[in-house]
C-alpha cells in the first residue's frame, strides 16, 4: 500500500467543524427517517419526491455524515458539467497524467474516477463515502488505453487512482456528464456532485448558455456550497469577450462572487490525446491547493458546504414531508371513494330490502302460488337466490363506482392497485355462501320456535322459515305472510322470530358488503400509506435544528 502514515500530518492542523455527538445522532435519526419514507402512489409530485429523497439520502450518506464524523478527511472536489465540456481532460491536466479516459466520443466518462494523493488513499478505499459504488483500484496504471468496464453486473464502479502530484488532503473526482443521454450517468453524476466539498462546474465557450448546467449552478447557489466554475475550451481570440459575458451571466444569476477560471481551447483539449500545458490550469491548481494547504481556507471551504447542506435541510425536509402528506391525502381520497361507493350501495340495499325488492321475479311468482302450487322449500330457495342477486348487484355496482372514482385519481394508477382479481365470479361465490349461511341460521331459528311450541300441531319449521323470510324480504307487500306466521305460532312467537331474523339479515348484509369493501381496499392497505412519515420527518428536522 502506498499510504504513508507519517505523511498524514496535515490533519493535525485542520480546523475541525464544531460537531457535537448529539448533532450526529440527530442527523443519523433524520437519515433513517428519510430512508424509511416511501412514495408508492404515482402522484404528480411523486417521482420528484422520490428523486429528492434519493438525493438527500445520497448526500447524507456520501457527504454530510462522513464529513461531520471525520472533518479531517481530505477535501473532495467533484468536477461536473455537460458532456464534452472537457472534464476528464481538465482532471488529467490538473493531475499531470492521464488518469481518466478523455476522448471525442460522447459521453466519454462512464466510470467515475477519483484521484487522490497516495497518502490519502485509505480515506477513499473504504466505504466511508460513496458506499454504493464498488471500488476498483489500480496502484499504478502502466497502459493508458486500458478499458475499465462499467460494473458488468449492473454494479456501479468507482475507480480510484493515486497521484503524487496532487497535494495531500485533496481528492479530485471526475464525474460523468450531468446532461448525458444515458439516464444512469445523469443520476450518478448528481449523486457524485452531492458528495463534494467543492463543486467544480465545467462549461465551455459553446455551452455557457445551456439551460441544463445553469440548473446545477442555481442548485449550488441554493445550497450555498463551495462552488467554482471553469470556462473551458475557450478559443484564444474570443477569450476575453466570452469570459466577460459568462461573468455577466453569473453576476445576473447572483453568482458573481464565485471564483471563475478560464481554460483556453488548445488542440489538446479537443480530442483528449494529451494534457493541457500546466500553465493553462495553473490558476485552478493553485486555488485548489490553497484550499487544502491553508487551514483557514480549508475550513471555510468545508464548513461552507457542510453548513450549506445542513441549512438546505430546512427547505428539503418540509418538501419531503409535504410529498408524504400528499401521498397520505391521496390514499385517504382513494379510501374515501371506496367507502362512499360501498356506503351508498349499502343504503340502497337497505332501502330495497324495505321495499321488498327481493320478493320479485321468481320469488314473487313462487309466493303467489304458495302454498297451493309451490312448496315452502321452493319459496325459500327463490328468496335466497333473489337476495344473493341483490347483494351481488350491490357489491358489483359499488366496485364499479369505486373504480370510476379511482379513474379520476392519478394515485390509483399504481401497479399494485390496478392489478385486480376477477371480481365477479369470486364475489358471486362469496355472497352465495354468506346468503346460504343466513338461510341455515334462519331455519335453525324456526326449529327453535317449533321446539318451544311442542304441541301436537307443531308446524313444519321449513314453512315457518319460508314465511318469516317472505315477511322480512317482501316488505310491506306481504302482510299476509306475517298474518299466517302469527296464525301458526302465535303473535308473540311470530314477532320474536321476525325480530331475530331481521337482526340476522341486517347483520349478514352488513357483513357481506363490509367484506367486499375490505377486499377492494386490501391492495391500498398493503401499500401502507400512513400519516406518520410526515410528522416524523418534521420532528427529525426540528430535533436536528435544535442540536445545531
| Contact set for other proteins, span 217-276 (CB under 8 A) | 218-219, 222-223, 233, 235, 238, 241-242, 245, 267, 270-271, 273
Q: Are 497 and 467 in contact (CB under 8 A)?
A: no
Residue 510 in contact with other proteins, rule: CB under 8 A: no
Smallest separation, CB 3 to other proteins (Å)? 31
Residue 299 in contact with other proteins, rule: CB under 8 A: no
With CB under 8 A as the contact rule, the residue among 100, 109, 162, 180 that binds other proteins is 180
With CB under 8 A as the contact rule, the residue among 43, 276, 390, 427 that binds other proteins is 390
Interatomic CA distance for residues 471 and 502, integer angstroms: 10
With CB under 8 A as the contact rule, the residue among 19, 397, 403, 545 that binds other proteins is 397
Smallest separation, CB 77 to other proteins (Å)? 16
Sole residue written with cell 500553465 = 279
With CB under 8 A as the contact rule, the residue among 43, 193, 402, 465 that binds other proteins is 193
With CB under 8 A as the contact rule, the residue among 207, 430, 439, 498 that binds other proteins is 207
Residue 348: its H or E element: helix 295-355
Interatomic CA distance for residues 304 and 295, integer angstroms: 14
| Number of Cβ atoms within 10 Å of the Cβ of 365 | 15
**Coil vs helix vs strand at 17:** coil
Q: Give 23 or 56: the residue with its C-beta nearer to other proteins.
A: 56
Q: Residues 312-351: x/- map of binding to other proteins (CB under 8 A)?
A: ----x--x--------------------------------
Segment interacting with other proteins (CB under 8 A) among 79-87, 129-137, 255-263, 458-466: 79-87
Smallest separation, CB 369 to other proteins (Å)? 4
With CB under 8 A as the contact rule, the residue among 40, 66, 71, 84 that binds other proteins is 84
Residue 508 in contact with other proteins, rule: CB under 8 A: no
Segment interacting with other proteins (CB under 8 A) among 71-79, 127-135, 206-214, 337-345: 206-214
Rounded to the nearest 10 degrees, what angle do helices 532-547 and 21-36 cross at?
Answer: 160
Query: Grid coordinates standing for 224?
Result: 450555498
The Cβ-side half-sphere exposure at 397, using a 13 Å CA radius, reads 15
Q: Are 330 and 409 in contact (CB under 8 A)?
A: yes
Q: Give 235 or 295: the residue with its C-beta nearer to other proteins.
A: 235
With CB under 8 A as the contact rule, the residue among 61, 161, 179, 516 that binds other proteins is 179
**What are phi and psi for residue 230, nearest 5 degrees?**
-125, 125
Give the contacts of 349 (CB within 8 A, at least 6 positions apart): 390, 391, 394, 509, 513
Q: Give 462 or 532: the residue with its C-beta nearer to other proteins.
A: 462
Q: Residues 352-371: x/- map of binding to other proteins (CB under 8 A)?
A: x--xxxx-xxxxxxx-xxxx
* Sites for other proteins among residues 139-158 (CB under 8 A): none
* Sites for other proteins among residues 462-501 (CB under 8 A): 477, 480, 483-484
Sole residue written with cell 338461510 = 439
* Sites for other proteins among residues 94-133 (CB under 8 A): 104-107
Smallest separation, CB 476 to other proteins (Å)? 11
Smallest separation, CB 462 to other proteins (Å)? 16
Q: Are 116 and 124 in contact (CB under 8 A)?
A: yes
With CB under 8 A as the contact rule, the residue among 204, 226, 291, 305 that binds other proteins is 204
Smallest separation, CB 197 to other proteins (Å)? 14
DSSP string over 490-548:
HHHHHHHHHHHHHHHHHHHHHHHHHHHHHHHHHHHHHH---SHHHHHHHHHHHHHHHH-
Residue 457 in contact with other proteins, rule: CB under 8 A: no
Segment interacting with other proteins (CB under 8 A) among 33-41, 112-120, 209-217, 489-497: 209-217
**Residues binding other proteins: what is the number (CB under 8 A)?**
90
Alpha helix ranges (H) inside 356-422: 362-369, 376-407, 415-418
Distances (CA, A) of 245 to 142, 239, 415: 42, 10, 50
Longest dimension (CA), the chain: 122
The torsion defined by the Cα of 316, 321, 327 and 333, in degrees rounded to 10, comes to -130
| Residue 76, phi-psi category: left (phi > 0), alpha (psi -120 to 50), beta (remainder) | beta
Residue 305 in contact with other proteins, rule: CB under 8 A: no
**What are phi and psi for residue 193, nearest 5 degrees?**
-65, -35
| Residue 53, phi-psi category: left (phi > 0), alpha (psi -120 to 50), beta (remainder) | alpha
With CB under 8 A as the contact rule, the residue among 21, 372, 425, 457 that binds other proteins is 372
With CB under 8 A as the contact rule, the residue among 26, 40, 59, 461 that binds other proteins is 59
* Sites for other proteins among residues 2-31 (CB under 8 A): none
Q: Give 223 or 298: the residue with its C-beta nearer to other proteins.
A: 223
Rg (CA), the chain: 37
Q: Give 2 or 104: the residue with its C-beta nearer to other proteins.
A: 104
* Sites for other proteins among residues 35-54 (CB under 8 A): 47-48, 51-52, 54
Interatomic CA distance for residues 2 and 123, integer angstroms: 12
Smallest separation, CB 270 to other proteins (Å)? 5
With CB under 8 A as the contact rule, the residue among 88, 168, 194, 305 that binds other proteins is 194
Amino acid at each position: 500500500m502506498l499510504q504513508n502514515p507519517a505523511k498524514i500530518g496535515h490533519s493535525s492542523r485542520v480546523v475541525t467543524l464544531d460537531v457535537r455527538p448529539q448533532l450526529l445522532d440527530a442527523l443519523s435519526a433524520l437519515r433513517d427517517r428519510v430512508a424509511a419514507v416511501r412514495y408508492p402512489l404515482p402522484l404528480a409530485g411523486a417521482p420528484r419526491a422520490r428523486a429528492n429523497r434519493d438525493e438527500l439520502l445520497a448526500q447524507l450518506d456520501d457527504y454530510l455524515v462522513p464529513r461531520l464524523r471525520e472533518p479531517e478527511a481530505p477535501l473532495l472536489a467533484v468536477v461536473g458539467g455537460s458532456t464534452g465540456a472537457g472534464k476528464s481532460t481538465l482532471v488529467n491536466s490538473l493531475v499531470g497524467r492521464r488518469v481518466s479516459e478523455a476522448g471525442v466520443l460522447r459521453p466519454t466518462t462512464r466510470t467515475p474516477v477519483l484521484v487522490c494523493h497516495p497518502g490519502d488513499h485509505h480515506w477513499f478505499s473504504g466505504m466511508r463515502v460513496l458506499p454504493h459504488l464498488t471500488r476498483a483500484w489500480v496502484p499504478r496504471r502502466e497502459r493508458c488505453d486500458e478499458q475499465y468496464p462499467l460494473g458488468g453486473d449492473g454494479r456501479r464502479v468507482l475507480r480510484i487512482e493515486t497521484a503524487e502530484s496532487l497535494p495531500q488532503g485533496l481528492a479530485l473526482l471526475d464525474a460523468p456528464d450531468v446532461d448525458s443521454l444515458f439516464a444512469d450517468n445523469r443520476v450518478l453524476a448528481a449523486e457524485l456532485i452531492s458528495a463534494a466539498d467543492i463543486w467544480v462546474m465545467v462549461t465551455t465557450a459553446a455551452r455557457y448558455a445551456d439551460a441544463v448546467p445553469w440548473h446545477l449552478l442555481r442548485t449550488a447557489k441554493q445550497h450555498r456550497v463551495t462552488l467554482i466554475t471553469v470556462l473551458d475550451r475557450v478559443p484564444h481570440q474570443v477569450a476575453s469577450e466570452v469570459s466577460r459575458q459568462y461573468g455577466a451571466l453569473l453576476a445576473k444569476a447572483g453568482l458573481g462572487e464565485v471564483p471563475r477560471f478560464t481554460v483556453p481551447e488548445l488542440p489538446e483539449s479537443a480530442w483528449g490525446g494529451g494534457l493541457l500545458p500546466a500553465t493553462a490550469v495553473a490558476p485552478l491548481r493553485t486555488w485548489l491547493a490553497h484550499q487544502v494547504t491553508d487551514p483557514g481556507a480549508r475550513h471555510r471551504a468545508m464548513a461552507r458546504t457542510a453548513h450549506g447542506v445542513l441549512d438546505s435541510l430546512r427547505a428539503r425536509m418540509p418538501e419531503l414531508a409535504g410529498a408524504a402528506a400528499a401521498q397520505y391525502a391521496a390514499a385517504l381520497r382513494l379510501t374515501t371513494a371506496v367507502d362512499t361507493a360501498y356506503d351508498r350501495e349499502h343504503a340502497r340495499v337497505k332501502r330495497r330490502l324495505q321495499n321488498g325488492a327481493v320478493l320479485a321475479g321468481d320469488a314473487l311468482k313462487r309466493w303467489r302460488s304458495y302454498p297451493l302450487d309451490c312448496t315452502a322449500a321452493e319459496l325459500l330457495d327463490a328468496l335466497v337466490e333473489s337476495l344473493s342477486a341483490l347483494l351481488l348487484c350491490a357489491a358489483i355496482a359499488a366496485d364499479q363506482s369505486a373504480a370510476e372514482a379511482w379513474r379520476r385519481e392519478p394515485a390509483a394508477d399504481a401497479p399494485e392497485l390496478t392489478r385486480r382479481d376477477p371480481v365477479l365470479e369470486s364475489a358471486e361465490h362469496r355472497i352465495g355462501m354468506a346468503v346460504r349461511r343466513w338461510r341455515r341460521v334462519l331455519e335453525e331459528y324456526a326449529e327453535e320456535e317449533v321446539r318451544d311450541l311442542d304441541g301436537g300441531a307443531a308446524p313444519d319449521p321449513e314453512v315457518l322459515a319460508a314465511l318469516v323470510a317472505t315477511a322480512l324480504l317482501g316488505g310491506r307487500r306481504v302482510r299476509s305472510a306475517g298474518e299466517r306466521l302469527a296464525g301458526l305460532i302465535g303473535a308473540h312467537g311470530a314477532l320474536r322470530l321476525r325480530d331475530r331474523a331481521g337482526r340476522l339479515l341486517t347483520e349478514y348484509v352488513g357483513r357481506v358488503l363490509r367484506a367486499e369493501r375490505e377486499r377492494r381496499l386490501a391492495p391500498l392497505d398493503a401499500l401502507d400509506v400512513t400519516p406518520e412519515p410526515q410528522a416524523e420527518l418534521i420532528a427529525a428536522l426540528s430535533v436536528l435544528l435544535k442540536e445545531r
